Structure 1
Amino acid sequence: MKKITFILLSLLLVACSEMKELSMIKDVENITLCLLSAEVYNAETQQKDKEYLERREVLKTIALKGDERTSFLKEFLNENNYEVVARKCKYEPVYALLVEGKPYAFFDVEYCPTLKIIIEGKEPKYLDITTENTLKKVLDELMK
């Protein structure tokens, strides 16, 4: 029982540190949301006139300003949208979040709801997104 409690507490502490990493973007002004293609392109198949992130074509880009920025960040930083779960699904990013023009996070809110946080000079960190998350509604509104 002690071992299970220790593992659960360790997972909770890891999740809290990732939430701290997320909250760092709340004061950043230059935030861009990107919709990514489902298809993966290797270097040889990428076209020079198109933008790619995580080997996926950027289909749509939205610079988040004003109310759009506020509503997105409210849900993106909402701790209730994240959970400590070890999913066994195949993570494939659908969205990218750029901060000051650099990739900050890649995520999916439906098939395999997972967030990958990119921190320069460190290993990527992962958080599981709840299946009943409020991010999807905001993303659907922004991407329509």
Structure 2
Amino acid sequence: MKRTKKEFTPYNEYHDRPFELKWATAFALGELQEGIEASDEYSKRAFERLPQQTTEEIEEYLEQSLKNNQVLEIQLNTLDDYGRVQPPIVGVFEGMSSMEYAKVGNTHILFEEIRHIKSHEFTKWSSLD
């Protein structure tokens, strides 16, 4: 049996891209779309600016957290590049890392930058009826 050479006669000027190029482009577009969605989620966030607490109130919350191992939610006075309130820092106060910095979780916070602190009360599973 003799085989003839197969030839394709194009009906128009369109030439498809090779598979390797299609895959690389689709992969890059997928990453781009994920980045856009994450950026969109970040830009839509809005946190309420809470009132400035006194130094005594802040120290009291930090002392309670240190003694009772309470989780704190700390809002800072600093704003992001667009003038929006930054997300709160959540963690347990572990002490002062120096005279000026408080350590909450793995974050060192300049004491003067603390604007507002909320304490989170959790019910232990063992105390449920």
**Fold match, TM over 0.5?**
no
* Structure (1/2) with the larger strand percentage: 1
Larger Rg: 2
Larger RCO: Structure 1 or Structure 2 (Cα < 8 Å, ≥ 6 residues apart)? 1
TM-score by length of 1: 0.25
TM-score by length of 2: 0.27
